[in-house]
């Protein structure tokens, strides 16, 4: 009988984003959940709200064979999807603003080795169908001992 139960394990996550010559890096601990061919990475993003107090944002990265989706819940709600050669819809919502966005991904590479994963992608962000910037992202996930 096949094992259909999700497999959970702790991971360390490094997410680097490059935009307009500036790079920001987030390094956090999280959880990986393998469900069939889909891998879900979950973690808390530390942050500060517009009025000073800390706000928590729970982030889930859903990784398929050739597609990646980032979903955020909490102080900010957003969804962005990435698939090489495609423009995919998304959104952004906060207590102060909301807008539709889309991502046009030029490259996406996902490489898995055991319980480690590296992904890199480049995309153009569109807000209300207007170009808003070019981004290059790298993601590295390593199982925690």
Give the per-residue pLDDT at 76. Answer: 87
Q: Could you tell me the domains of the chain?
A: 7-45+56-143 (2.40.128.20)
Give the per-residue pLDDT at 87. Answer: 98
- Contacts with 47 (C-beta within 8 Å, 6 or more apart), sequence order: 54, 55, 56, 57, 75, 76
Dist CA 45 CA 28 (whole Å): 8
Task: List the end-to-end C-alpha distance of the chain, in Å, as a whole number.
Answer: 29
Instruction: Encode pLDDT of 33-52 as tens digits.
Output: 999 889 999 999 876 555 55
Position 2 confidence tier, pLDDT thresholds 50, 70, 90? very low
Q: Hey, how many other C-beta atoms are within 10 angstroms of the C-beta on 11? A: 21
Query: Average pLDDT of 116-127?
Result: 97
Going 72 to 73 to 76 to 78, the CA torsion angle's sign is positive
- Given a cut of 90, whether residue 32 has pLDDT beyond it is yes
Instruction: Encode pLDDT of 131-145 as tens digits.
Output: 999 999 999 999 998
Radius of gyration of the chain (CA): 16
Instruction: Encode pLDDT of 41-100 as tens digits.
Output: 999 987 655 555 667 899 999 999 899 999 999 988 999 999 999 999 999 998 889 999
Q: Using alpha carbons only, give the angle 52, 96, 129 rounded to the nearest 5 degrees.
A: 125
């Amino acid at each position: 009988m096949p094992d259909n139960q999700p497999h959970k394990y702790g991971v360390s996550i490094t997410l680097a984003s490059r935009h307009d010559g500036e790079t920001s890096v987030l390094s956090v601990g999280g959880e990986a959940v393998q469900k069939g061919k889909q891998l879900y990475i979950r973690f808390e993003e530390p942050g500060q709200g517009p009025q000073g107090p800390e706000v928590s944002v729970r982030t889930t990265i859903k990784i398929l064979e050739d597609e990646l989706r980032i979903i955020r819940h909490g102080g900010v709600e957003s969804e962005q999807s990435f698939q090489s050669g495609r423009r995919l819809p998304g959104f952004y919502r906060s207590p102060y603003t909301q807008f539709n966005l889309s991502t046009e991904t030029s490259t996406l590479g996902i490489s898995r080795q055991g319980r480690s994963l590296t992904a890199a992608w480049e995309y153009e962000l569109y807000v209300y169908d207007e170009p808003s910037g070019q981004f290059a992202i790298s993601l590295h996930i390593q199982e925690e001992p």
